[in-house]
Structure 1
Amino acid sequence: MLLLSNRWLVWVGLGYAALFAVNVAFARRNNERDLVNDAVLIVQVVALVPLMWLLADAGGLIPERVWLLTLVCALVLVGSTMHVKSLLRERRRPAFALASRVVAVASLVLVVGLGWMWGWPAGIGLVVPFVFLAARSLKSDWDGWRPGRIGLLELVGFVGVAVGAGMAVSV
């Protein structure tokens, strides 16, 4: 029924199928944790933000705030991916750790701009979680932190972004 009323979803499905084929190709080579594969997954997830809007509102135009939330989603996922990789798979590469920190701090700066575009004071809800994410990226001593604990800290960041976005939307 959904496809009958939204035929454009066939094209979306084909696009997602192509991206999924990339994921499968990496998995077949036992290289599913490659940064390129992570980037493909991030694109798949981030694209869901405007897609859900289009499914909920048949008006066809995506409002600026939906695009802002799409960018927030992209920033948090890219930052988290870089951060976790810098602590686990790439932990012996100081340049990767530096890149992760640069991404986190740059994301904070970008989100300040997005918050301003959203409008103050509601836009502050978008910014606060990125202060936490930037601070966690600057932590220098991760000795003794196991992957599960790192993942829980990332989850706190994701929940913070979701709550902050919810606050921004509701104001």
Structure 2
Amino acid sequence: MTVPTSAPREINSLADKLLEIHDWLRDQLVHLRAEADAHFAARAAHQGPGQPPAPGLGLQIRQRCLEFCDTLTFHHTAEDDHILPGVLTHHPQLRATLDRLADEHRALSRTKERLLALLADIATVDADVFLTAFDRLAGELTAHLEYEETWLVPVLAQVPFPPAPTGPQGR
């Protein structure tokens, strides 16, 4: 199965950087769902009476999910700690939008933690339960990214990336 991957984008602004990260997150959701489907199909094919689950694919999906979840946490923490406060300083009229984005970050964190709890036992977790939890995270995250892009991309498009050096050398 071929999984689509976003083409690299030119990075000239903070909006471009945000979109690059969002593209990666979306691509990973597609890859992870395909790997989860493959894992559960292989597990079903190899689990007969007295047969252990196929460990290789389970380990792979576990590692990839952990990497994805760590990156998502890092991304949302960076937004909460640096991006959203900076936007609020320059665009106080967006307070309600920024509050909603921060609330969504917390909700996504809870959904992600539920998925990670299931992931801890990927070898025996019920496939439907895991895939439902994964699809919930994917749906919530996709909706969040779309909302965030609607409001933040126009604002961040005016911020150069990488930022200009500051200090005596960068003047």
Normalised TM-score (structure 2): 0.50
Instruction: Answer 1 or 2: higher relative contact order, Cα 8 Å, separation at least 6.
Output: 2
Structure exhibiting the larger radius of gyration computed from Cα positions: 2
